[in-house]
Structure 1
């Protein structure tokens, strides 16, 4: 199976079902630095990236935003001095979809540009 970061997001309709706990655990093994958290009764994927300063954090935020636009799937981005917290989930289904894991993996790839 193709690595998550090389996959493309698929259009998600509100009739899609959130991933099962088994599916979440299987996909999460491919993005081990990400945490599945429950927020407002929904599962979200979250990870905080560290940077040496605000300028670098802002550039990372911009790159993640560009990839999100390209894939048509958008995160919550909290940019602070020296760090960016990225949260993925699928609003249309109030939970996690395969797209969230694809984008988390793509976000990890983007972070390597800033190492």
Structure 2
């Protein structure tokens, strides 16, 4: 591994490139330890829930991730709620994971620096 995931750039990806192999996933996953690999309808995805102190900060983070996604032309599923944001990365064209997803997960972690908190108490229930 020549440089960290946060320093890497997504490559254009079509359905013609292979998804990440089990060996590649085993190499990349330890670099984003807070992320889970989930399966939705048989499609492997990376998912993480970030906690924030309020809705405004959660929305600020959502917008930061959206800007990263636009720059990379690789887009996640984002669920913004009071005090938390769920981010899910996968490569739609491959119906699974690619190195790009791990790069974007690492960059998402960087975007959260200084914004996240321990699980907040939601005053709205």
TM-score (norm 1): 0.97
How far apart in 2 are the matches of 1:80 and 1:25?
31
3-state SS, counterpart of residue 62 of structure 1: helix
Aligned equivalent of 2:105: 104
3-state SS, counterpart of residue 74 of structure 1: coil
Measured after TM superposition, the shift of residue 61 of structure 1 is 0.1
Measured after TM superposition, the shift of residue 19 of structure 1 is 1.0
Where does structure 1 differ by over 3 angstroms across 4 or more consecutive aligned residues? none
How far apart in 1 are the matches of 2:98 and 2:14?
11
How far apart in 2 are the matches of 1:103 and 1:20?
18
Measured after TM superposition, the shift of residue 40 of structure 1 is 0.8
How far apart in 1 are the matches of 2:71 and 2:14?
18
Residue pairs, 1:78-93, within 5 angstroms:
78-93=79-94
How far apart in 2 are the matches of 1:2 and 1:63?
23
- Structure 1 residue runs of 5 or longer lacking an equivalent are none
Aligned equivalent of 1:45: 46
Aligned equivalent of 1:32: 33
Q: What's the Cα RMSD here?
A: 0.8
Measured after TM superposition, the shift of residue 43 of structure 1 is 0.5
User: How many residues are treated as equivalent by the alignment?
Assistant: 115
